[in-house]
A and B are shown apart, each in its own frame.
Chain A
Amino acid sequence: MGYRTIMVGTDGSDTAVLAVRAVTRLAKRFGAVVHIVCAHGDGVDEQSAIEVLRYARESVRAEGVETKTHMRVGPAPAAIKELAARHGVDLIVVGNVGMGKARRFKLGGIAEQVAHEAPCDVLIIHTRDMDVAPDGGYRHLLVGTDGSATASEAARKGFELAEILGADVTLVHVGDPLVGAVVLEEAAKSRPGAAAVRGETLEGDPAGRIVEVAGRGEIDLVVVGNKGLAGTRRYILGSVPAKVAHESPVDVLIAKTVGRTVDDLAPGHGGLVDAGGRRLAVYRAEDGTITALSPRCQHMGCTVDWNDADRTWDCPCHGSRYDWEGRVIKGPAKRDLDPASLPPT
């Protein structure tokens, strides 16, 4: 799991203190550097910001974790996003205050604004009930999946996290029960490591069912992909990660599975990435070698997607399959995927 640089925003509030504590615990596990951000000018004066940062830095350092602090003038979400991008942060941690059901369509909360546009994974710490907050020590993870490539990427991150934390994983598929059985089996088969996994297929509203399972008292972290979290669609229909983030009774990890770049691909994995304004099918080999392809299926022009279990590019329309180099291994497509070149960095 690549959480080497973790960022947390704090304003000295109870919720922020809890987020800092959770970050400290996770950073110790990952051997990560913690960046602490405090923005002033919006309810926090400069002197208070200095005090808040000093207190947070000392509490993190007391646990032997390397720490860097940043103070910015202006809104906290913008500061967190800007600093996260600049320092190559791979996990942002925020408290969930201000993300209740009634505020679903507002852009008020720091957590909400960060979650919608973060350049990396976002961990939302549930701080409504301070007494039962797990404080970063997750033992039971719930991973929501619909079998799509983006959900598989979220599942992969969930499995890797479970492996590091020694946690077990409950895979939840909401939808058709037969499809769910296959999806859960494939997701469990493709897991790295040996985390204990159990599956559950349910029918109904995906976000509602995930929240329901998370609320049974066994789960302490929900992992979902960020598909549907950005863009205008979320204002009209909402999205599974947004609804889960708002309604979950436990912490939520929103894995960045959409809007990824080549840098987000782990070795041995592929995915659709944004590269210079184009969408490309890119595979990163274990040795770091990059293979970039056009994602357009040679049969009818549908967009292929990465199949992590079989390491193939699969066309969802008529079942054509290509290996990681884009060579046809199953029709009806007859020609290999076109090679593509990545823009210079």
Chain B
Amino acid sequence: MGYQWWVFLHIAGAFVFLVAHGVSMGVSLQLRQERDPRRIMALLDVSSTSISGLYVGLVLLLTGGVVAGFVGDWWGQGWIWVALGTLVVVMILMYALASNYYKRLRLIVGAMAEGSEAVSEERLAELLSGPRPVILAVTGFGGLLFILYLMLFKPF
């Protein structure tokens, strides 16, 4: 398979990744405006459903990118290593920032949707309007923009 096809696979994987993960990002930002536990649970479920697409996209873009790196003889240059490193760091960072936050949110709104009054609406509103979703969006989007810059301009 030629170089162009591996790049094609890489970009197609990136599309799948962005479409799937875009759902989660959209949900996380929308949640800041929501206060109804049932709607919040429904949105979290939509986000969870898109997770499998995210992993499929990730596998495709990594496979395409790594092989294209060999076929195109890019592994001797710095930018591809930095791009790969950035992807790994962003993934670890986003997992650390997101997993506990959403697990916590899911537990709280799940209980509230079933009638729990353990957490007040004010405390839920405080949690939802916190900066975490924005930090996540900036980290993820910023990381991807930096990788795109490295791929296009190959500065080193």
Contacts and interface: CB of A to CB of B under 8 A. Distances in A.
Given A178-B127, A319-B110, A300 B52 contact: yes
Interface residues of A, number: 19
A168 to B, nearest CB: 20
B107 interface: yes
Contacts of B44: 319
A178 B123 contact: yes
A185 interface: yes
Interface in A245-282: none
A296 to B, nearest CB: 15
B119 interface: yes
Contacts of A178: 104, 108, 119, 123, 127
Among B107, B108, B123, residue most surrounded by chain A Cβ atoms (within 10 Å): B107
Contact of A185 (B103, B118, B123): B118
Contact of A318 (B51, B104, B118): B51
B134 interface: no
Interface string B51-68: 110010000000000000
A38 B36 CA distance: 62
A331 B51 CA distance: 12
Interface string A173-196: 000101101111110000000000
Contacts, number: 49
B106 interface: yes
A70 interface: no
Given A181-B119, A182-B118, A147 B52 contact: no
A147 to B, nearest CB: 7
A182 B111 contact: yes
A234 interface: no
Contacts of B111: 182, 185-186
A157 to B, nearest CB: 23
B51 A176 contact: no
Contacts of A300: 51-52, 55
A225 to B, nearest CB: 19
Given A185-B118, A332-B45, A179 B108 contact: yes
Interface in A289-329: 299-300, 316, 318-320
A91 B33 CA distance: 52
B30 interface: no
A179 B116 CA distance: 12
B77 interface: no
Contacts of A316: 103
A179 B49 contact: no
B16 to A, nearest CB: 16
B4 interface: no
A184 B51 CA distance: 30
Nearest to A147: B107
Nearest to B114: A310
Interface of B: 44-45, 48-49, 51-52, 55, 103-104, 106-108, 110-111, 116, 118-119, 123, 127
Given A300-B51, A319-B45, A331-B49, 11 more contacts: A176-B104, A181-B118, A182-B108, A182-B116, A182-B119, A183-B107, A186-B116, A300-B52, A300-B55, A316-B103, A332-B52
19 contacts: A176-B104, A178-B104, A178-B108, A178-B123, A179-B108, A181-B118, A182-B116, A182-B118, A183-B107, A184-B118, A186-B111, A299-B51, A300-B51, A316-B103, A319-B44, A319-B45, A330-B45, A331-B48, A332-B49
